Structures are given as C-alpha cells and as structure tokens.
Structure 1
Amino acid sequence: MLLYKTKIALVDDHPIVVEGLEKILATVEHIEVVGHFFNGKDLLSFLDHHTVDVILQDITLPDINGIELCKTIKLHFPKTTVLALSHHHNRKIIMDMLNSGANGYLLKNISRNELVGCISAAVKGEITFSQDVKEIIASPQLSTDQTAVRLTSREKEVLELIASGKTTLEIAGQLHISRFTVESHRKNLLQKFEAKNVAELIRIATANSLL
C-alpha cells in the first residue's frame, strides 16, 4: 500500500530559506514538496493547475502582502491549508494572519521536528503554532500604543512616497517642505519601525498593512 504524501508548496522570497526547507522536508517520508515560489503571483498560477495540501508562506513577499495572499488562497482554494512561516513576531501580525484564514503561524527559528509536527497537526484540521508563537499569544496583551507603530499623517505621506521610489528632493517638492524636513521624517520612520534601511522599512510597513 502506497503512503499518501502531503503535498507542500513553499513561498518565500529568500532562495536560501527555500533551499533549506526543501532539504529538511525531503527527509520526511510522508511529505512531498511539489513547488517553491518567490512571490505570490507564481504560487496562485500554480494552484490553478495543481493540487496542494499545505502552503508554507512568508508574510513579506515582493508582490503581495502575505496576509492578503492568504485571504486570496482561502477564497479560491478553501481546502488548502495555509501556514505562515515568518520572522515577524508582532502579535497584531499573527492575529491578522489568523483572521485571514491561516491554519497556523510558525516562526523561522522553529526546529525540524517542531515544523513537521505542526504540519501534521494542520493537515488534521488543527490550528497550530510554534512554541514561541504560543508564548506570544498567551502573554498579556499590550495596549494598542505599545503593539502598533503609530504614524502622523505627514509621516504616512512621506512613507508612501518613499515606497513609491521618490527621492528626498522629489518628496520635498511634492509636499512643499524642505529636504531637511524630509530627512528628519525618514530618520524618524526608520527608528519607529526599527529598520536598518529603506528596503527593510518598506518590508516591515507592508507587513503591518501600512502600505
């Protein structure tokens, strides 16, 4: 009697993460990785023509917010299990992902055995979490001021223009403010999001549904 293998698709924009996951899951007898993708669009195209039992997906992707991707998957492929696999440990992001229909949330520091166990639990219909996520959910909820990045209307404008690729001088001209004021807003945004550079700033803001 042939063993049915759980068909898994991987979605992460970091090739080294995908390669590592493929190597780990290749050692599990009852799991088969049927595809890996670096963006949401390619995954959705694949799902149109292939059966996938479980999707392991990152939150931050180059073309679509992972939360929105999960909603789309659940809308068009409701029987497919979606597990978030991310380094984002913000409670709001975890809850937003679950509210979008995800079957679980795992942090990328998860061990091989825990990962396999969570996949198996999700296939059985359980909502599953890695141990660190369980602790985040179980901990007392902080106030909104502590959990969410709060932006002024001007900071939101600057953030959106930065994300659109505008330079400091272009932003200054469009908003009729000095370039020094724009630079001040830029520094404040990096500090608020604890981002090392603009690319990371955009990724985190997108993950928090602020872009």
Structure 2
Amino acid sequence: MDNRTEIGDRQISVGVVENDESYIEKIRSMLSELSMVREVRCWTSAEEYWRDRNGQKLDVLLLDIKLPGMDGVELAGRVTVRNPDISIIMLSNLNSDNLIFQALRNGAIGYILKAELRDLGETLQTVLSGGATITPTIAFRVLTSFRKSNPILEARLTEREKQILELMVSGKTIARVADVLGVSVNTVNHHAKSIYRKLNVHNRTELARKAAAAGLLDV
C-alpha cells in the first residue's frame, strides 16, 4: 500500500540548494512522502546549481539563504531573472529583517526558518496555487516592519527635500542636483541624508519605490 501523502494530481520537480548534506537528506526524506513530487535535484552551492542546466527545469527551488560563495539572496535574484516561472522558497536559520526583505525583493515567494520546516506538502501546494508561504514568526516581523516604516506616515519632507527627491529619483547625481538647484554639494548631501532617514531607505531603488508609494513623485 502506498502511504505517501496525496496532495494533488500534478507532479513537480523540486530543487534544493543547501550546503548541509544532513539537512539535504532531511528534505529528501520529507519530499519522498509526497506523491506530487516527481523528482528531487540537489546542489551544495549556488555556483554548482547555476552551471547545471537541469536547474532551469524546476517547478520549485528550496534555497538556503547562507551559502559559501554566492549566497542564496543573490542566487534568488538571478533565478528570478533567468527562470521567472520557478517558485523560490528561502530556507534559513536567520531571521534578520534585512535578509528577509532582500530575499523577497529578489523574487522569493517563501521564507521559512529551518527549525520550523514541517509540512512541506502544504508549503508546496500553497506556492503552486499562486500563494506565498512565510514562517509565522517571520510574517510577524514583516508586518511589524511595514508598520514601523510606512512611507506615508514617515514622509514629512520639506519643499527643498521634495525637489531634491524628484531630481535624485530621475537619475541625477548629487553634483548635478546641486548644479540644477544652485546650491553646494554639501547642502544636497545634507538634504539627501535627511530624506533617506525620513523614508527609512538605504539606496535609490528603495527611495524611488517608497516615494512613489507615498505619492511624493509627480508622475
């Protein structure tokens, strides 16, 4: 009698990139219980995965966030660009807010703490149905972070800061912004630091995204 868990008729290919071989075996064992899993492919580094053309034929990729060499966050971004149909689920022992958001920005649709990885069947079913899966403790941190960094609540910019914001988001350098406004580079840098602090961002990509969300850009 087949005692594998029945969770659907579709059979899928699952990949695992993980440098801990004992953990790979744990995941293999869990996946072997799922009838929907047709095959499991494993790699112990991001580079090894990236070179293997079989890695492009997956439905789901379980990806360790901390790997030797190229890390999981960078690999997630590369996979998202090259193979956007692959559903990426990050596996981690870390609950760093920075890593969580980097991974999600790079295309991951799941983030699970290794210690809390239990029902892989439900996890796979969720992502293959178009959903996202995040460990409850991580989900709480994500929600808390959004509450703390809501750009609409924090966007208290002066008129000069709004001018500088528009110019920076349009791609102008600090020196060019200073030239356009007829002020010193030091003055622009001072305002730029204030803008980054008020919007709680760290680079221009985040700046543009949050400014747009807060309705601060005339677009």
Global fold match (TM > 0.5): yes
Determine the structure 1 residue equivalent to 2:48. Answer: 42
Does residue 133 in structure 1 map to residue 138 in structure 2?
yes
Greater CA deviation, 117-126 or 98-107?
117-126
Shift of 1:120: 1.3
Higher gyration radius (CA): 2
In structure 2, the partner of 1:92 is 98
Paired with 1:44 and 1:6, the residues of 2 have a C-alpha distance of 20
Paired residues of 1:25 and 1:31 also in contact (CA < 8 A): yes
Q: Distance in 1 between matches of 2:52 and 2:101?
A: 27
* Contact 1:81–1:102 (Cα < 8 Å) also in 2: yes
> Residues 56 and 30 (structure 1 numbering): CA distance in 2 closer, same or farther, change over 3 Å?
same
The reply to whether residue 13 of structure 1 matches residue 19 of structure 2 is yes
State the 4+ residue runs in structure 1 displaced beyond 4 angstroms: 140-144
Q: Extract unaligned runs of 5+ from structure 1.
A: 145-211
How high is the TM-score relative to the length of structure 1? 0.61
Instruction: Tell me the equivalent position of 1:116.
Output: 121
Cα deviation for residue 39 of structure 1 reads 0.3
The amino acid that maps onto 1:77 is: N
Point out where structure 2 has 5 or more consecutive residues left out of the alignment: 1-7, 150-219
Cα displacement string for residues 130-164 of structure 1 (whole angstroms, at most 9, x for unaligned residues): 222112223356989xxxxxxxxxxxxxxxxxxxx
Q: Does the CA-based 8 Å contact 1:22-1:33 persist in structure 2?
A: no
In 1: Cα distance, 2:30 partner to 2:108 partner: 22
Distance 2:70 2:79 in 1: 12
Q: Give the superposed CA RMSD.
A: 2.3
**Aligned residue for 2:154?**
none
SS in 2 for 1:71: helix
How far the C-alpha of 1:123 sits from its partner, in A, is 1.3
Contact 1:5 1:31 in 2 (8 A): yes
Alpha-carbon distance, 1:125 to partner: 1.8
Q: Helix, strand or coil for the counterpart of 2:115?
A: coil
Shift in Å, 1:26:
0.4
Q: Tell me if structure 1 keeps the 8 A contact 2:61–2:86.
A: yes
TM-score if structure 2 supplies the norm length? 0.59
Identity rate of aligned residues, in percent? Answer: 20
Aligned counterparts of 1:140 and 1:34: Cα–Cα separation in 2: 35
Partner of 1:74: 80
